[in-house]
Amino acid sequence: MKADKEKISRSVKIARGQLDGVLKMIEEDRYCVDISNQILATIAILRKANQEILHAHIRSCVREGLHTDEPNEKLEEALSLLDKLVQ
């Protein structure tokens, strides 16, 4: 992985902590909108981490793969990931 591993790990750990908090909120029968807001906050953190990973991938692996006339597996992988993101 070419992305900043410490930064990505920190974000994922924060998201994990938020999910633990969401589970606790559910167990405590907290207000639905508060739970939903926490879930949305967690999704935002994971989305940002994923964006950083993909940016690093495109800037390194895909860029390297473009320096050939052969079919570009890295480019196709990146395009496939983009397809998943817009679904």
What domains appear along the chain, each with residue ranges and CATH number?
5-85 (1.20.58.1000)
Q: 21: closest CA among 38, 5, 45?
A: 38
> Which pLDDT belongs to residue 22?
98
Mean local confidence (pLDDT), 32-58: 93
Q: Are 8 and 49 in contact (CB under 8 A)?
A: yes
For the stretch 9-44, pLDDT in tens is: 999 999 999 999 999 999 999 999 999 999 999 999
Taking the whole predicted model, whether its pTM rises above 0.85 is answered as no
Q: Considering the chain, what percentage of its residues have pLDDT values greater than 70?
A: 93
pLDDT at 86 over 80: no
Bigger pLDDT: 52 or 41?
41
Mean local confidence (pLDDT), 5-10: 95
| Structure confidence at residue 46 as a pLDDT band (50, 70, 90) | very high
Alpha-helical segments (H) within the chain? 5-27, 32-57, 63-65, 73-85
